[in-house]
Homo-oligomer: A and B are copies of this chain.
Amino acid sequence: MTDNQIWVRGVAMTAFAKRSTDGFAEMSQKALVAAVDNAGLTLNDIDELVCGTGYGGPLAGQRIAGPLGLTGPRITNVENACSSGLAALAIGMEAISSGRARTVAVVGVDRLSDMGRGALPLAQDDIEVRQGVIMPAVYAMRARRYLEETGATIEDIAKVSVKSRRYGSLNPLAQMRNEVTLEEVLGSRPVATPLTLLMCCPRGDGAAVAIISADAPGEARPGVVIKGLSVQSGRFTDGYRDMTRSELSERTASAAYKSAGLTPADIQVVETHDAFAIAELMYYESLGFAEFGRGWELIRDGATELDGRVAVNPSGGLMSRGHPVAATGVAQICEAYWQVAGDAGEHQVSGVTNVLTHCTGGGIAGFDHGASGVAIVGRA
C-alpha cells in the first residue's frame, strides 16, 4: 500500500483564543505558512487548497490564499458544521488519490468572535430551537438520561473536565490553560442542569492546517500517514433511537477502522469531540473503547489518562484547547501528527503508533441530520 499512502507532511495551528487579535484571514495565513514550513516545503509546492469553515463566509480559502500570492491552486471551500475540518481533509485526500494533486493544504478555521455574543446562526427558525432545544440543552438531556440509565455519577462527568483542563494546562496552544478541581467543576454556574459551565467547551477563534501529500517525507522527517478516514452524514440516533447513543459516530468510526484495517486495540491516543463533558463518555462507547453504557468506567478508572490504556484528548480536547468549529477537526490532526511524531511536548503519550480523531456536528437542535468524521493517523 506504500505507493498509495497519503502522508501528513507537516502541521500547524494558532493558539486558540477568545477575541484573537488576528482576523480570519490573518490567523489562517499564519497557520498555513507555519505548516508549510513545518513540512519543509514552500507555498509553491501546494497544488490545491481545501478550506473547511463553518462561518467564514464566501470564498474563505481564496481570501486566505490570495494575499499570499497563491493564485494557482484550485481551492474548494467545505462546510459540515463541527466536522467541517475532517470533511475538508476528505476532499483533500481525494484530490491526491485521484492523481490530480500531489500536495494539498487542508485548512480548518473559524473566528467565532466575529459572530457576536448570541447563539451561533444554526437553525434558529426551527420550532425546537425556538423552544430552547439548543446544543447545551440537548447534551444536558443526554447527560440526565446517561445518569439514569448507567452506573455513572455526576462526578464521573465532572472528571472529564478535570482531565481536560489538566492536559490543557500542558498545551501551550490551548485556550483554557488553568487546572480545575472536581469541586470547581461541580460548583461552577449551571448552564443546563446537570451541565455546569466547566462541563462546556468555550467559544473562540483559531486556525489549523495540515499539509498532506502523495510524496513521502525525507528519511530525517517523521513518517506519518493517514491510515483510514470516513466522513458520514445521518441522524445522531437513527436505528437505535436512544439519545445517549450516537449511531452516526458509531457508523463513522466503524467505517474508519475498516478502511484502516485496524481495531480499537490498535489505538493509543484518541482526540474526540468533547463539546460537553458528557459527550466524551458517550464517544468512548461510539468509538469502540467501551461497551454501550459503560464509558463512565474508563474515566473513573483513569483508563483515558495520559498514561492509561488509551489516552483521550491529551491536547485538552474541545473543552480546553477550544472549539472554533471547523478548526477543531484539523487541530485534532495536528495533535495526532505530534503524538505520532513524538513532538507533543508536555502532553506526549509514550509509544504512540496510531491516533484516532473524531468530530461530529449537527443532527440535533433543529437539524434532523448531522455529519461526522473519523480519521486514523499513524506511523508509516
Contact = CB atoms under 8 A, between A and B. Distances in A.
A203 to B, nearest CB: 15
Interface in A91-136: 91, 94-95, 97-98, 120-123
Interface in A1-56: 49, 54
B77 A79 contact: yes
Nearest to A98: B94
A352 interface: no
A371 B73 CA distance: 10
A120 B123 CA distance: 20
A121 B58 contact: yes
A76 interface: yes
A59 B72 contact: no
Interface residues of A, number: 48
Nearest to A363: B62
A63 B231 contact: no
A340 to B, nearest CB: 25
Given A367-B62, A369-B65, A71 B231 contact: no
A78 interface: yes
A370 B65 CA distance: 10
Contacts of A59: 79-81, 361-362, 367, 369-371
A66 B235 contact: yes
B121 A62 contact: no
Contacts of A363: 62
Nearest to A67: B368
A29 to B, nearest CB: 12
A77 B75 contact: no
B73 A58 contact: no
Interface in A347-380: 361-363, 367-371
Count the copies: 2
Contacts of A218: none
A58 B79 contact: yes
A78 B80 contact: no
Contacts of A65: 233, 369
Contacts of A72: 234
A254 interface: no
A371 B232 contact: no
A301 interface: no
Contacts of A368: 62-63, 66-67
A87 interface: yes
A238 interface: yes
Given A65-B369, A74-B231, 19 more contacts: A49-B233, A58-B81, A58-B122, A58-B123, A58-B367, A59-B79, A59-B81, A61-B233, A62-B370, A63-B369, A65-B233, A66-B235, A71-B233, A72-B234, A75-B80, A77-B79, A77-B87, A94-B94, A94-B95
19 contacts: A57-B121, A57-B122, A58-B121, A58-B123, A59-B367, A59-B369, A59-B371, A60-B79, A61-B233, A62-B362, A62-B367, A62-B371, A66-B367, A75-B233, A76-B87, A77-B79, A78-B78, A79-B79, A94-B98
